[in-house]
Amino acid sequence: MNFLEGKRVLVTGGTGSLGQSLIRRILSGEKGKPTRVTVFSRDEAKQHYMRLAFMRQKAATDEIIYENSQDLLNFRIGDVRDYPALLAAMRDADVIFHAAALKQVPSCEYFPFEAVQTNVYGAQNVVRAIRENRLPIETVVGISTDKACKPINVMGMTKALQERIIVEANLDCADTNFVCVRYGNVIASRGSIVPLFVEQVRNRQPLTITLKEMTRFLLSLDKAVDTVFAAIEQGERGETFIPKVASARMTDVARVLMGREDLPMVFTGIRPGEKVHEIMVSEEECFRTIERGEYYAIMPTLPELRRLQDYTPALDGEYSSKDGNVSLQALAVLLGEADREIARFMTAGN
């Protein structure tokens, strides 16, 4: 389905790990060729280096050549906290991927109101711009996190509010389809544990792990982008899409990445706001969760937004990273598939 054919696409937070992978896939034309792709973010240095990287990039994949990427790809300096700047960018968009966020858990714990301003007010500004100006936006996809499910930290709390703000917008913005995506630890994203382990193994340093019991969902950047695309293609208004992905113990991830090296593991203790296990669907949400192929879709809390009235829940309990952890062999395959992403991360300083 070429749902981006001829569309004007806006990506807030487009210089982030997911934003760059999303834009690379959009520019490949796999979902249709857009007329314009705009990166909206507040860091001019990241935009500058992203622009240079994409100008030098010859191919979106091994087979597909970027065509007119310099004409298609645009950059706008701005902050989702700044309503006028965001509104100006949104006036020229048909599809919005809202990825801008403060996402580092300890940083949000120390600066909670900063997280509120970006993660909560930023989402509200997106909705406000559409609602008050009747912008003809077709689709908004809010990018969330497993930490929004039964949140115990500021980052998760603010992302949970972001989800509710975006879902609720379906009530009075009839011409716009608002959906959300919630996923776990992206293997090669900025601040994730895998690149840290890779760097520690490279330098023959001890591998630092917070707790022996800690588990996480693991997915590649491409799988994260697949989930975003699936939410547009398959999602009903107000649904939150969840990928079906592997989960693993962090000690097993460390063992696989060190390979034949025999490096010590150092347990540093849990960080402020950190969970031992992540949950992507809570036991309260599971009763309004259905299957959509490779994904779960959580129907909205507000009953008037649910289109399906007769359905069979896909889960009978919470979807947690503590359950069904993959074997070392399966984990090695998963990390091997993500090896190029990790390498790109390490060389580009993503």
Active site positions, annotated: 147
Residues contacting residue 120 through CB under 8 Å, at least 6 positions apart: 158, 161, 162, 165
Residues contacting residue 63 through CB under 8 Å, at least 6 positions apart: none
Query: Degrees (nearest 5) of the Cα angle 151, 334, 13?
Result: 50
Q: How many helices (H) and strands (E) does the chain have?
A: 13, 16
Closest CA to 336 of 230, 161, 225, 188: 188
Which strand (E) or helix (H) includes residue 96?
strand 95-98
Contact predicate 295/239, CB 8 Å: no
Backbone angles phi, psi at 190, to 5 degrees: -60, 130
Distance CA 344, CA 286 (A): 36
Contact predicate 276/146, CB 8 Å: no
